[in-house]
Amino acid sequence: MKAVALLGGPKRNWPAKLQKRLATSDFKIGVDRGSLLLLELGFQPDLAIGDFDSLRPAELAQVEKSVKDIRYSNPVKDDTDTELMITAACRDYQVDQLEIYGATGGRIDHFLSNLFMFLKPQLQQFAPRISLIDQQNLVKFLSPGENVIPPIAGYHYFAVFCLGSTQKLNIRSARYNLTNFSTTYPRIFTSNEFLDQQTPCKIDFSYGQVVVVYTRDLDRFLNA
Amino acid sequence: MKAVALLGGPKRNWPAKLQKRLATSDFKIGVDRGSLLLLELGFQPDLAIGDFDSLRPAELAQVEKSVKDIRYSNPVKDDTDTELMITAACRDYQVDQLEIYGATGGRIDHFLSNLFMFLKPQLQQFAPRISLIDQQNLVKFLSPGENVIPPIAGYHYFAVFCLGSTQKLNIRSARYNLTNFSTTYPRIFTSNEFLDQQTPCKIDFSYGQVVVVYTRDLDRFLNA
């Protein structure tokens, strides 16, 4: 099942295709204020998770009336709403592909906790199913072993980010290759490029959490 | 000397106070496209650094005509334009307080490389002089030992982010305190709060790179 989740990050970072991705998804999830944003876009969430403290009472009532499965989180607990949502989607609903929007561009602490959540052992198993998507970026979480990274139209660059200790990282069939790289702390390799629009890049590593960020510049003459 | 640097990130993430901060700064720095953005705002950069490949020839000519000290970077080298800029500002110009704008909200790989640059040993000495600032966030880089973190009006929350291996981290005089925490990988503690608008929080650690993110929600009824 393919699912789309909307978090509460700023609308200005949504990609143009969000509406279409929601329309064609099997399952829609709102996280906290994202539940209301889904309703505003004309979509009924199948699942909503959050402490909903950013909603006015009338807004919360609207969410509660519209959502089949609503789950209330405890704001003082260790797990973030996004983490609870991923566990619910992947374990309870067997979602095997989950695109997350609204995770970037606002509060830096929220973005970082979304980026680093797969360092938690209990979440690692779900990482390959997840993408974070915004106006300029697509983030994919890799697994140890070999990963085939196809070019995606519209993204000129890709970056490889070691979230923490990583062993024997190789990047092959890319403009800038890397051989047998190991690190004990986070490292990022920015602005790599595919060889052409057809040839996938290959990334393998023996240990660690590695992220690929497909990315593009803003239209250089707009910078809106 | 107090300096302001403008990078090429999206204008939509600039804080309202940027113009005023530029007007009252002693020294203005443009990084790559940020040099042109400074000119568009009516300010002449004292220093410009970049490979300038995002500028049209006429734009580059305008920058070259207006800037006293212009330095061309090599895009294939290991150091990013931002890293070169920090070294030039702090070493060559003895800048002791540097606010960086335009570092967030666009390409995730650019933001992450700006956030993690102080893991490079040669840059660590400059970390305490630097702030990254956008519409919702203010990022400060701490040093091992005791750090006094004053409340700043307009920021409701703060987060503490261990960039990598960190030892004996204590957070005191905050809503959520932490005692003698150590980690071997990045960890983020989000949505902490000051006790009140006067009492500083105290953060100390014996080893590592630790960041404080002052942050606030968007106006909940705007989310523009």
Contacts with B12 from chain A: Cβ below 8 Å: 12, 224
Number of other residues whose CB lies within 10 A of the CB of residue B167: 15
Å from B175 to nearest chain A CA? 11
Contacts with A186 from chain B: Cβ below 8 Å: 116, 119, 163-164, 186
Measured distance CA(A197)–CA(A195) in Å, rounded: 7
Task: State the amino acid at position B66 in one-letter form.
Answer: S
Average pLDDT, integer, range A12-16: 93
A11–B224 C-beta distance less than 8 A: yes
pLDDT in tens, chain B (224 residues): 999 999 999 999 999 999 999 999 999 999 999 999 999 999 999 999 999 988 999 999 999 999 989 999 987 777 899 999 999 999 999 999 999 999 999 999 999 999 999 988 899 999 999 999 999 999 999 999 999 999 999 999 999 999 999 999 999 999 999 999 999 989 999 999 999 999 999 999 999 999 999 999 876 545 54
pLDDT band at A75 (very low <50, low <70, confident <90, very high): confident
Contacts with B104 from chain A: Cβ below 8 Å: 105, 108
- CA A172-B122-B165 angle, to 5 degrees, is 70
**Residue-wise pLDDT tens digits, A130-165:** 999 999 999 999 999 999 999 999 999 999 999 999
Å from A8 to nearest chain B CA? 8
8 Å CB contact between A205 and A170? yes
Å from A3 to nearest chain B CA? 23
Q: Where are the alpha helices (DSSP H) in chain B?
A: 18-23, 33-40, 57-66, 81-87, 108-116, 121-124
A118: DSSP letter: G
8 Å CB contact between A120 and A155? no
Q: Which tokens go with B92? A: 């060559």
* Alpha carbon distances (Å) from A65 to A7, A53, A178, B117, B213: 19, 17, 53, 47, 36
3-state secondary structure B9-71: CCHHHCCCCHHHHHHCCCEEEEECHHHHHHHHCCCCCCEEEECCCCCCHHHHHHHHHHCCEEE
